[in-house]
Structure formats: structure tokens, C-alpha cells
Structure 1
Amino acid sequence: MKLLTLNFLTCARKTCKSTAAAFPLHPKEAELEQVEMELNPLFVKNMLPRLDWEAMKTLATELGLPNLPAETPVAEELANESGEPTQTLRDLHTLLMETAIASGKLVCGNCGHEYAVKEGIANFLLPSHMV
């Protein structure tokens, strides 16, 4: 499960839908893997406005990854004058597209429910007593 995906997920319980604490889901005992991909500057630039930057900073901190800038980078700052990608763009690409959770758990900050992640796939099916 790519870290980019975690920026769009929240707890599946109905009671958590209206609570801010249910987002983002917090990784626990996460085993990370790196899968190299070709750099796609346009994709990263187009994703920036859609990201919850505070949630991304929280995830990076909880996973022990390098700290992200305090503010969301501006798309124009991601390429130098000659059009070459900056180091910030490369770092964002690595974090969002190449870093994935191979196994572990995702924990809701509101109810504490743990969603298992196995082989890079999170199980969001709730037991019947929690639906």
C-alpha cells in the first residue's frame, strides 16, 4: 500500500466518519518496502493540491522517514530554471510513489480499531459487531 493511498483513507466505522481523529490512519508495526518507479514530475505536481499536508507530515514522522517541509511545496518550486526536477520533487516522488507498507497495521486514532496490512493490501472489512 503506497503512502500516497493513506492520504485518502479513513476509518470504515460509521461512528468515526464525523470525527477528525479518524484521519489519518496511523501505521503500527509497519514494514516498509521501496519499489523503484520512473519519476513522473507532472503526476507529483498535480497531486500536491489534493494532499492533506499535515497528514503526510504525521505519517512521515510516525514511520521514521525524513521530515517533510513545514508547508506544502508550490509546483513551481519543484523544477529548476532549466526544467530539471529539484531534490524536493525527487524526495516527494520517493515518499509518495515508491514507499509502501508491505505489512503491519493501520490504526484509527478515534476508535483504536486496527486494520491489518498483508502483502501490501489493507483489509478494511469490519466484523459484524462493528458495522
Structure 2
Amino acid sequence: MKVLTLNFLTCAVKACKSSSDSFPLHPKDCELVSDELEVNSALLTNVLTRVDWKALTTTAAELGFPTLPATPPTPEELAGDEKMLKELHTLLMETQINEGKLVCGHCGHEYAVKEGIANFLLPNHLV
């Protein structure tokens, strides 16, 4: 599961639907793997307009990545800053969670991640 995917996931527990604490899910005890990919600045620029920057900075910090700026870079800033482009590319496109857990900040439910796939099936009492 790519780190980018975490920016689009929220807790599936019914009681968490109305809570802002259910997003983003927090990585716990994660084993990260990296795939070497060619940098595609146009793709990255388009993706950045769709991500929740605050959630991304939280996830990056929890995974031990360098601190991201408080606001997302503009396309012009990204084009002029090769280091930032590469760091965001590494975080969003190359880094994957292979094993671990994703934890809801509201209810504490843990979703297991095995072989890069998160299990979002809930027990009957949480549906």
C-alpha cells in the first residue's frame, strides 16, 4: 500500500463517520519498502492538488520522514525545488507499507496490513 493511499482512507466503523479524528489513519509498527520509480513531476503536481496536506504531513511525521512545509508547494515552487520534488516523490510514489497496522484516531480500531494490502473488513459488532 503506497503512502499516497493513506491520504484517501478513513475509518470504516459506523460510529466514526461523523468524527474528524477518523482521518487520517495512523500507521503503527509499519515495515516500509521502497520501489525505485522515475520521477514524473507532472503527475506529482496533479496529485498534490488532490491530497489533504495536513493529513500528509501527519502521516509523513509518523513514518519518520523529514518535516514537510506547513503549506503545500505551488506548481512553480515544486518545479524550482528539485530536492522537494524528489522528497515528495519518494514519500508518495515510492514508499509502501508492506506490513503493519493502520489505527483510527477516534475509535482505536486497528486495520492489519499484510503483504501491502490493508484489511478493511470489520467484525459484525462494528458494522
TM-score (norm 1): 0.94
Q: Which residue of the partner structure matches residue 53 of structure 2?
A: 53
**What pairs up with 1:71-86 in 2 under 5 angstroms?**
71-80=71-80, 86=82
Q: Report 1:87-126 matches (<5 A).
A: 87-126=83-122
C-alpha distance in 2, partners of 1:104/1:79?
34
Structure 1 outlier segments of 4+, above 2 Å: none
Q: Render the CA deviation track for 1:51-100: whole Å, top value 9, x for unaligned.
A: 111111101111111111111100111123xxxx7211111111000011
RMSD over equivalenced CA pairs, Å: 1.0
Give the match's secondary structure for 2:10. Answer: coil
5+ residue gaps, structure 2, are none
Deviation at 1:123, TM superposition (A): 0.2
- Counterpart Cα distance in 2 of 1:78 and 1:54: 18
- The Cα of 1:4 is off from its aligned counterpart by 0.3
Q: Which residue of 2 aligns with 1:4?
A: 4
State the SS of the aligned residue for 1:115: strand
CA distance in 2, matches of 1:61, 1:38: 24
| Residue 30 of structure 2 corresponds to residue 34 of structure 1 | no
Amino acid at match of 2:86: R
Give 2:112's aligned amino acid.
Answer: A
In structure 1, the gaps of 5 or more residues are none
Cα distance between partner residues in 1 of 2:24 and 2:100: 15
- Over the matched positions of the two proteins, sequence identity in percent amounts to 64
Q: Distance in 2 between matches of 1:104 and 1:42?
A: 31
TM-score (norm 2): 0.96
Q: Return the alpha-carbon distance in structure 2 between the equivalents of residues 6 and 21 of structure 1.
A: 14
SS in 1 for 2:49: helix
Measured after TM superposition, the shift of residue 5 of structure 1 is: 0.2
> What is the distance in 1 between the residues matched to 2:66 and 2:38?
21
Between the two proteins, the alignment pairs up a number of residues equal to 127
- Distance in 2 of aligned mates of 1:66 and 1:32: 15
In 2: Cα distance, 1:41 partner to 1:69 partner: 18
